Amino acid sequence: MNKTNETIQWIGTAFILIMYVISNFFPGYDTLRNSVALGGALCFFAWAYRVKNRQQMIINGVAIALCTAGLTQAFFG
């Protein structure tokens, strides 16, 4: 596997695992959770684009849109 792709996946994995920790142990931190989830979705979208995995691009594109909407609402809503 390409080292760059592997690095992107590991960084995305770290973001997603941190998101789960926040979700389960700090449920009131929605903005932080959405920020971390956005980081993970961006990483996995970049990886999916690089390897031309359209299904994962769609899933992560939707995740990016949802996280962005949540963060927009939190900061400006």
pLDDT in tens, the chain (77 residues): 689 999 999 999 999 999 999 999 999 999 999 999 999 999 999 999 999 999 999 999 999 999 999 999 999 98
Q: What is the pLDDT of residue 1?
A: 64
Q: What is the pLDDT of residue 16?
A: 98
Category of 53 on φ-ψ map: left (φ > 0), alpha (ψ -120 to 50) or beta: beta
Instruction: Calculate the alpha carbon distances from 63 to 1, 10, 59 in Å.
Output: 25, 18, 6
